[in-house]
């Protein structure tokens, strides 16, 4: 695991946070390049690509199965997919993908903060 300690930054290696962002970008590319595309970056330039709704659902079950075990989060995810119905372009663009993952991350972020507060109180 890459990481920067105490604010000192390794210039050669990507930081942990950079690894995380790149992983999310790669994940988008992996699911958006399915179906006819050879998977290389050059195709994506020529054609506006996105993740199909089915592909997004597949991604949620394959890549986010632990995070979505919590019912509350599952509801949030279902709502996100419902919201996609209103957007009739049928494909999830990178922006939309990012917003959706953010929608999943945000409640988790709140939970973590609450947990940290609780830990503080019990100390």
Instruction: Catalog residues that contact other proteins under the rule CB under 8 A.
Output: 1, 3-4, 6-7, 9, 11, 14-25, 27, 41, 45, 62-67, 94-95, 98-99, 101-102, 104-106, 108-110, 112-113, 116
Please, what is the minimum distance in Å from the beta carbon of residue 9 to other proteins?
5
Q: Name, in order, each residue with C-beta under 8 angstroms of 86's C-beta and a sequence gap of 6 or more.
A: none
Query: Given the complex with other proteins, which of 81 and 108 has the nearer CB atom?
Result: 108
Minimum distance of other proteins from residue 28's CB (angstroms): 8
CB 34 within 8 A of CB 54: no
Nearer to other proteins, 10 or 89 (CB): 10
* Pick 20 or 87: Cβ nearer other proteins: 20
**Secondary structure (H, E, C), the chain:** CCCCECCECCCCCCCHHHHHHHHHHHHHHHHHCCCCCCCCHHHHHHCCCCEEHHHHHHHHHHHCCCCCCCHHHHHHHHHHHHHHHHCCCCEECHHHHHHHHHHHHHHHHHHHHHHHHHHHHHC
89/117 with CB nearer other proteins: 117
In angstroms, give the least distance from the CB of 61 to other proteins. Answer: 11
Q: Taking the complex as a whole, how short is the minimal distance between the CB of residue 82 and other proteins, in angstroms?
A: 19
């Amino acid at each position: 695991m890459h990481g920067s300690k105490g604010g000192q930054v390794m210039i050669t290696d990507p930081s942990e946070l950079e690894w995380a962002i790149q992983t999310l970008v790669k994940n988008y590319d992996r699911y958006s390049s399915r179906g006819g595309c050879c998977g290389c970056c050059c195709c994506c330039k020529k054609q506006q690509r996105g993740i199909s709704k089915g592909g997004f659902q597949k991604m949620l079950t394959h890549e986010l199965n632990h995070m979505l075990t919590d019912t509350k989060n599952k509801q949030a995810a279902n709502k996100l997919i419902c919201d996609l119905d209103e957007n009739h372009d049928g494909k999830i663009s990178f922006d939309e993908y990012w917003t959706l993952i953010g929608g999943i991350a945000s409640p988790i972020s709140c939970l973590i903060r609450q947990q940290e507060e609780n830990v503080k109180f019990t100390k």
